[in-house]
């Protein structure tokens, strides 16, 4: 696979070089994110720029994104969702440097790195935060709301004939909300 992305990086070194990393990492590298998703994870797309600012701070800015299969908590059917994480990060080599830089980096995350780190580890936390607590289809496309809106029969028989458990599923999905 020609992803061109290294498994491990040294963010401090990359910032000093002014490097930019664009490419994909295999979904298998994201074990925690895979646990959140219903299907094997697609490759995660990265676009990360590393710079050393005029203030001497080593920074990373960019995005990571992946399409992830989640389970809709209303109808309990799969749904595809695009997860995107945006990065504004400052890297410090030593905790002491961090103290000095704190005042200038209020809006940025700061990470202390002593050496090379796994690139997937660097972005996985933020992607996990992008996973919704209660993933749900749009109301217009969710099959649970279709049942409720169109198929709920006045006499209560047509649903039973199709699938006697459909009513239970709809009720369960409502309870979960
Ligand atoms: Zn749904």
CA of 34 to the centre of ligand 1 (A): 20
What's the mean pLDDT in 92-106?
A: 63
Please say whether the beta carbons of 22 and 54 come within 8 A.
Answer: no
Question: In a 3-state reduction of DSSP, which class is residue 121?
Answer: helix
CA of 134 to the centre of ligand 1 (A): 11
The mean pLDDT value of the chain amounts to 83
What's the mean pLDDT in 165-172?
A: 67
Tens digits of per-residue pLDDT, 109-158?
A: 889 999 999 999 999 999 999 999 999 999 888 988 765 655 545 544 44
- How many Cβ atoms are within 10 Å of 109's Cβ, its own excluded? 13
Tens digits of per-residue pLDDT, 28-86?
A: 999 999 999 887 889 999 999 999 999 899 999 999 999 999 999 999 999 999 999 99
Alpha-helical regions (H) of 47-110: 95-101
- Host H or E run for residue 65: strand 58-71
CA of 22 to the centre of ligand 1 (A): 34
CA of 69 to the centre of ligand 1 (A): 12
CA of 124 to the centre of ligand 1 (A): 26
């Amino acid at each position: 696979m020609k992803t061109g992305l290294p498994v491990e990086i040294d963010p401090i070194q990359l910032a000093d070089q002014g490097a930019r990393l664009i490419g994909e990492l295999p979904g298998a590298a994201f074990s925690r994110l895979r646990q959140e998703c219903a299907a094997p994870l697609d490759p995660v797309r990265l676009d990360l720029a590393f710079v050393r600012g005029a203030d001497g701070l080593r920074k990373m800015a960019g995005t990571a994104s992946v399409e992830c299969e989640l389970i809709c908590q209303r109808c309990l059917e799969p749904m595809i969702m695009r997860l995107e994480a945006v990065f504004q990060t400052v890297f410090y080599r030593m905790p002491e440097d961090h103290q000095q830089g704190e005042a200038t980096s209020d809006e940025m995350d700061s990470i202390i790195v002593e050496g090379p780190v796994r690139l997937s580890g660097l972005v996985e936390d933020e992607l996990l935060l992008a996973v919704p607590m209660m993933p749900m289809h749009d109301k217009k496309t969710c099959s649970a709301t279709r049942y409720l809106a169109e198929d709920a029969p006045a006499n209560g028989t047509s649903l039973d004939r199709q699938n006697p458990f459909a009513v239970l599923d709809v009720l369960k999905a409502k309870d979960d909300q």
